[in-house]
Structure formats: structure tokens, C-alpha cells
Amino acid sequence: MAPQVELPRVPEASDESDVLREQLEYLIEHAARGVACGCTECQRYLRVRSVLLEIFAEPPRPPRANVTQIPAPLARAA
């Protein structure tokens, strides 16, 4: 009788949002230690933080044109 061969197990794919949440929690915990050591995790945290908070930044104001506005004519009294 031939020996039984166990087939390798293939793990199920993780939900992408769970992976992102786990990574964000890891980076927050690393940054919460209070010492910005400048390591790759600190740099990743700063990049992620910048992207996630980008929506709250004020939009850049367009440059003002040097246009002289003509005032509206005054109404005449009857």
C-alpha cells in the first residue's frame, strides 16, 4: 500500500479592507510610541497619514486676476 501524501493547504485570500485596516492599526501603534525614529514604518505612517488626511486640506486657491470690475450704475430716483 502506498503512503498517503497530504496535499499542501492553500490559505484563503484575505479581505483587502481587513488587510488595510490591520496595516493601518500597526502603523498607528508604531507611531503612538511617541518617538519618531525615522525608520521605514515611521515614513510609511507619515505617507499614509498624508494621503488619508488630504481630503481635509483646503483646496488651493486660484490666482486672482488683475481685473478691474466696473461698478454697476446707480439707480435713478424718480
pTM over 0.85: no
Three-state DSSP class for residue 61: coil
pLDDT band at 7 (very low <50, low <70, confident <90, very high): confident
The Cα–Cα gap between 70 and 35 comes to 58
pLDDT category of residue 10 using cuts at 50, 70 and 90: confident
pLDDT at 67: 60
* Mean pLDDT value of segment 65-70: 64
Residue scoring higher pLDDT (37 or 77):
37
Amino acid identity of residue 30, one-letter, is H
Spatial separation of the C-alpha atoms in residues 41 and 32, rounded to whole Å: 12
Domain residue limits, the chain: 16-56
Higher-confidence residue of 31 and 64: namely 31
Q: What is the mean pLDDT of residues 8-12?
A: 86
b/e sequence 24-38, b meaning 16+ C-beta within 10 Å:
eeebeeebeeeeeee
State the residue for C-alpha cell 511617541: 34
